[in-house]
Amino acid sequence: MNMRISDAVKHLIIINIIFFIGSQVLGRPATDYLALHMPQSEHFQIWQLFTHMFMHGNIMHIFFNMFALFSFGVMLEQFWGSKKFIFFYLSCGIGAAALHLGVSYFELQNVLEGAASLNLSSSELHQILNATVADDTHYRPDLFLNEIKPILENAKVKEVTQEHFDSLFSAARITQIPMVGASGAIYGILVAFAFLVPNAELMLMFIPVPIKAKYFVPGLLLIDLFLGLKGQSIFGSGSTGVAHFAHLGGALIGFIMMWYWKKSQFNNNRWN
């Protein structure tokens, strides 16, 4: 198979570039509308499960994702056909969003345990989670405190300890960090590549030693899982919008689909 860019990969790259340029021009409104927000956020919309994978935080973010899409996606599309490739790509991207939201939800509930004694209603909690936590460049506990004071007073909260405040502020930060990027879909593609050509040799830029795909991809996932549990990510912290558990979610859906297709011999069928 040659490495001439295939149709679906080309169109996906073009769409991602259009979204990136548009988001740079429009700024915050594009992020509020198209990035993936938690359901507890006032900016959450169901279509963000799909649109988030065409949004990127910066030029390096989109460059590396599109480079990986071209490097591994062309072969998959030539093998499967365009329709099957797009179905796989989008499924992994949506799976990435689902796992990211699930992990973020449990993280949010764990953080809110520190404020459970305040007995806030769901409406009051929703207002607090969407109160201002930052200006354009820095997190601002003072702005957050000023906004939640009247909410707490209306809730007849008599005393707010530092633990209560820290819990609410952390929970609001978690709620308001959007997730963007095609990384989840790309991880699914990496898994599929390792399934189809396990002995192909791959290299990381900072590890100039060829490693077979069947070892490279699981190793990459284990590193991402370890760093994810440490609160970090290979491509940056959660605040950058590239989430480690989104990577793993895309990889998990990719693995399940490849395992099922191989088991049913469906992997041998093209969708033209």
DSSP 57: S
What pLDDT sits at residue 27? 87
What pLDDT sits at residue 19? 96
Last residue of one domain, picked from the residues 127, 156, 176: 176
Nearest to 8 by CA among 63, 72, 100, 52: 72
What pLDDT sits at residue 184? 94
CB 142 within 8 A of CB 181: no
Co-location of 240 and 146 in the same domain: no
User: Is 242 a residue whose pLDDT tops 50?
Assistant: no
Q: Give the domain range for residue 166.
A: 108-176
Query: Residue 97: inside a domain, yes or no?
Result: yes
- Which residues lie below 8 Å from residue 191, measured CB to CB, with a gap of 6+? 217, 251, 254, 255, 258
For the stretch 46-79, pLDDT in tens is 999 999 999 998 999 999 999 999 999 999 999 9
Tell me how many domains the chain contains: 2
Co-location of 94 and 184 in the same domain: yes
Co-location of 128 and 257 in the same domain: no
Distances (CA, A) of 75 to 98, 101, 216, 217, 250: 27, 31, 18, 17, 19
